[in-house]
Amino acid sequence: MPSCYYILFETRFGPVAVIWSNGENPLIDRVVLSRPDMTARQIVKILDPAPAPGHCVAADDLAGRIHDFLEGEPVDFNLHGIRLDRCPAFQKDVLHAESRIPRSAVSTYHRIACHLGKPGASRAVGNALARNPFPLIIPCHRAVRSDLTPGGFQGGSGMKRELLLMEGHRFDQSGRLTGPALYY
């Protein structure tokens, strides 16, 4: 019997997968976005251990909310039922801070580092977000560089830009956010 399962669904950004652990109260292990170089379907097939396809109420509900979010609906996610316990302590702190950034705002890697009391850790914040196992649930697309350019994102820079536009943010001709509400 497999120890984890996945549901794969189509979005305007390509396939997305929700992976969860088996049990009476399933816990979400990760969300997998398609990237410019690889689809979520391909990523799921190379995971170790590879999850099996399946369905459960929690994963189906989350998949529906992620789909709605990617269609531009103002969906609020919470951290209940996701496996943050598998993240290192610093990454967990970064993810908690990132999860509090509202749809109407962005923050910078540096501001998040300062908020965590580690002003020299901007790059470490960026690395923690690059390995965010719960993109969209924890909105790492809302963290940008100090010069207000978008920076990286698991789903690719085009997806990050599009998500920020869907949330009402605007960019100037040089690709910088214009007049964002900065958080932290």
Alpha-carbon torsion (126, 130, 135, 137), positive or negative: negative
Residue 1, pLDDT score? 59
**CATH node for 88-182:** 1.10.10.10
Residue 25, pLDDT score? 79
Residue 109, pLDDT score? 98
**CB count, 10 Å around CB of 160?**
21
Its pTM stands at: 0.94
What digits encode the pLDDT tens for the residues 53-98? Answer: 999 999 999 999 999 999 999 999 999 999 999 999 999 999 999 9
Measured distance CA(86)–CA(138) in Å, rounded? 15
Q: How confident is the model at residue 23 (pLDDT cuts 50, 70, 90)?
A: low
Residue 48, pLDDT score? 72
Residue 121, pLDDT score? 98
R_g over Cα of the chain = 16
Measured distance CA(123)–CA(111) in Å, rounded? 11
What digits encode the pLDDT tens for the residues 92-145? Answer: 999 999 999 999 999 999 999 999 999 999 999 999 999 999 999 999 999 999
3-state secondary structure string across the chain: CCCEEEEEECCCCCCEEEEEECCCCCEEEEEEECECCECHHHHHHHCCCCCEECCCHHHHHHHHHHHHHHCCCCCCCCCCCECHHHCCHHHHHHHHHHHCCCCCEEEEHHHHHHHCCCCCCHHHHHHHHHCCCCECCECHHHEECCCCCCCCCCCCHHHHHHHHHHCCCCECCCCCECCCEECC
Q: How confident is the model at residue 49 (pLDDT cuts 50, 70, 90)?
A: confident
Q: Which residues are catalytic?
A: 140
Residue 51's closest CA among 19, 80, 83? Answer: 19
Domain ranges of the chain: 4-70, 88-182
